[in-house]
A and B are shown apart, each in its own frame.
Chain A
Amino acid sequence: MTETYGADAAVRWMAAVAAAVEREAGRLTELDAAIGDADHGANLKRGFAAVAATLAEEPPATPGAVLVTAGRELISTVGGASGPLYGTLLRRAGKALGDAGEVTRDELADALEAGVAAVGQLGGAVPGDKTMLDALTPAVAGLRESFAAAARAAEEGALATVPLRARKGRASYLGERSVGHQDPGATSSALLFAALAEVTAG
C-alpha cells in the first residue's frame, strides 16, 4: 500500500518549517554575517511565521493549494533574494501538484523537482554555486528513496558548500573570501527537508 499525504500534512510541514526557522534563526543569521549581511534568519522567520498564520487561519483543501498559498505569502513578506526564491520553490511545487486531494511521496518529489528547476532558472544558479540549490537538488533526489534520505542529503549538501566559492548572490562579491563558510541559503533549505522528515515520520 502506498502512503499518501493530504492538505493537513502539508500544513503541518509548513508549521514545522516555521518552528525550525524560529529555532535556528540565530544560527542562520550568524552564517549570513560571515558572507552576507546578517539577516537571513530574521527574514525567513518573518516569512514562515506569516505562512503558518495564514494557513492556520484559512487552511486550503489540497496539498497543492497549501504550497501555492505558502509560496505566495513568502513572496509578499520576506523580500531579499530568499523571498522570491523560496516563494517560487513552493508555488511551483504546489502548482505541479494540481488539485489532487492526496499525493504520494513520488508525486511530491516530482513537484519539488519542478520547484527546484524554477528556482535555478529564476536565480540563474546551478549546483556548485554555493546557493540553496546545493541542498535542494540532492534533497529532491533523496526524496525518491525516503523522507529521511531527503533530509540527510540536504544536510550533507549544505555542509558541502563550506569549501565552495560563491558565484551567485551577495556572497559572490567576496570572491575567494567566501570559501570556508557554510552557505546560509543551503542551510535553511536543509531545515525545510528536516521539517518534512519530521512531520512524515511515524
Chain B
Amino acid sequence: MRMLINVPETVVADALRGLAAAHPELTVDVERRVVVRRDAPVAGKVALVSGGGSGHEPLHAGFVGPGMLDGACPGEVFTSPVPDQMVRAAAAVDSGAGVLFVVKNYTGDVLNFEMAAELAEDEGIQVAKVLVDDDVAVTDSLYTAGRRGTGATLFVEKLAGAAAEEGAPLERVEALARRVVARSRSFGVALSACSTPAKGGPTFDLPPGELELGVGIHGEPGRERRGMMTAREIAEVAVDAVLDDLRPSDPVLLLVNGMGGTPLLELYGFNAEVRRVLDARRVPVARTLVGNYVTSLDMAGCSVTLCAADEELLRLWDAPVATAALRWGR
C-alpha cells in the first residue's frame, strides 16, 4: 500500500486537523467532524450545508466560505456522515433565516440527511433540501436508486451559495438550487480504480489498457468496460452522453473534473477535446473550470459536467467566492 496516511482509522480526522491548520478562516471541529465558516452564522443569511463521504476532496469542506457553503460534514471515506453531524452543522450556521441541505443522490446521504432534517426541525431550524442527481450514466433509473449526484454538486453549491450571499430567502435559494440541478448533467470515466484506506488497495480490478465508462465517484465499477481510448474519443463519448440528455439552448458552464489521480496536463488536454466536441455540436461555452474538484481518492479519470446557464446563473457564477478550493472576485 502506498498511501500518505498513518492508519486507516484516523484518515478523516488527520485530514481535518490539516485543513484547520491551513485555513484559519474555517472553524473545524475535528472530533465531531463539522467544518463551518468562521463568521457563521451570518445575520439574515440563508445557510447552505452539505456533506457526504470523505475521499471527494475538495468537495465539500473545501467549498466552505463566503459565496458558497456555510458548513460541511465529512463522513468516513465514501460513507455518508451521520445525522448528528448535520444537525450540529445546521445549528452552528443557522441565523434564523433557514438552512438548505445540498444532498447528493446516494441512498446513505439521502437517508441520513432526511433524519437530520427532522431532528433539526425539532430544534426549530427551518430546513429545505435539494437532491443533486446529474449523472447520465444511470439511464434506467426505474431500476436503480435514481441518478447519482456527482459534478453538478459544485454548480449547485456555488450558484445557490451566491444567491444566499446576496440575501435571497430560503425558498428562492432552494428553487434556484433545483433549477441548477434540472439544468446540469454529468458523465464520468475511470482509467484506474481508486484505493480506499480501509481496503488498502484498488476497489476493483481494472487491467492496464482498459477503462470504465459511466463511473460514479465511489470507486464502484462503471456501466461498461472498453479498451483504452484517446482523450479525443473519450471526450466524444462523454460529451455526447451528456448532450443526449441535456439540450442546452443557453451557453453552458463547463466543468472538466479530475477524479484525483489525473494530472492537470492531461485534464487541460482533455478540455481541449471537450471544447472541440462542444464546438462541433454548436454548444457555446460561457465559463470553464478545469481541475480536481469532485474526486474519488486516487482514481485516474475525469468527468464532464454541463450546466445550461441563463443570465442569472452566469451572474451568480461570477459572484465572489472565497473558499479553500474555489476563490475569485474578492
- Cβ–Cβ contact B82 & A75, under 8 A: yes
Chain B interface extent, by class: 35 or more
Q: A38-B196, A39-B196, A79-B75 are in contact. Are A174 and B82 (CB under 8 A)?
A: no
Q: Nearest 10 A-B pairs (CB), nearest first?
A: A172-B144, A80-B108, A84-B111, A81-B108, A81-B107, A37-B218, A80-B79, A79-B79, A42-B198, A37-B78
- Nearest chain A CB to B143 CB, angstrom units: 5
Q: Is A104 an interface residue (CB 8 A)?
A: no
- Cβ–Cβ contact A75 & B107, under 8 A: no
Q: Is B84 an interface residue (CB 8 A)?
A: yes
CB within 8 Å of B: which A67-103 residues: 75-85
- Cβ–Cβ contact A79 & B216, under 8 A: no
- Cβ–Cβ contact B82 & A78, under 8 A: yes
CA distance A169 to B148 in the complex (A): 10
Max count, chain A CB within 10 A of own CB: residue among B81, B84, B112? B112
CA distance A76 to B79 in the complex (A): 13
Specify the chain A residue showing the minimal Cβ separation from B77: A39
Residues of A within 8 A of B137 (CB): 173
CA distance A75 to B82 in the complex (A): 7
23 contacts between A and B (CB under 8 A): A29-B199, A33-B199, A34-B204, A37-B78, A37-B219, A37-B220, A38-B198, A38-B199, A39-B77, A42-B198, A76-B84, A79-B82, A80-B53, A80-B76, A80-B79, A80-B80, A81-B106, A123-B107, A123-B111, A170-B216, A173-B137, A173-B223, A175-B144
- Nearest chain B CB to A183 CB, angstrom units: 13
Q: A83-B111, A168-B145 are in contact. List 9 more A-B contacts (CB 8 A).
A: A37-B220, A38-B196, A42-B198, A43-B79, A75-B115, A170-B106, A170-B216, A170-B220, A174-B221
- Cβ–Cβ contact A170 & B82, under 8 A: no
- Cβ–Cβ contact A75 & B83, under 8 A: yes
Q: Is B138 an interface residue (CB 8 A)?
A: yes
Chain A residues in the interface with B (C-beta under 8 A):
29, 33-39, 42-43, 46, 75-85, 122-123, 165, 167-170, 172-175, 177
Interface of B is mostly: loop
- Cβ–Cβ contact B148 & A83, under 8 A: no
- Cβ–Cβ contact A76 & B80, under 8 A: no
CA distance A33 to B148 in the complex (A): 18
Residues of B within 8 A of A84 (CB): 83, 108, 111-112, 114-115
- Nearest chain B CB to A162 CB, angstrom units: 17
- Nearest chain B CB to A27 CB, angstrom units: 13
Specify the chain B residue showing the minimal Cβ separation from A171: B220
Residues of B within 8 A of A77 (CB): 82
Q: A37-B203, A38-B196 are in contact. Are A167 and B144 (CB under 8 A)?
A: yes
Residues of A within 8 A of B79 (CB): 39, 43, 78-80
Q: Point out the residue from B81, B108, B140, B203 that lies within 8 Å of A33, measured CB to CB.
A: B203
Residues of B within 8 A of A172 (CB): 143-145
- Cβ–Cβ contact A83 & B107, under 8 A: no
- Cβ–Cβ contact A122 & B199, under 8 A: no
CA distance A173 to B8 in the complex (A): 27
CB within 8 Å of A: which B144-178 residues: 144-145, 148
For B77-100 the 0/1 string (1 means CB < 8 A from A) is 111111110000000000000000
CB within 8 Å of A: which B41-73 residues: 53
CA distance A42 to B75 in the complex (A): 13
- Cβ–Cβ contact A33 & B76, under 8 A: no
- Cβ–Cβ contact B223 & A174, under 8 A: yes
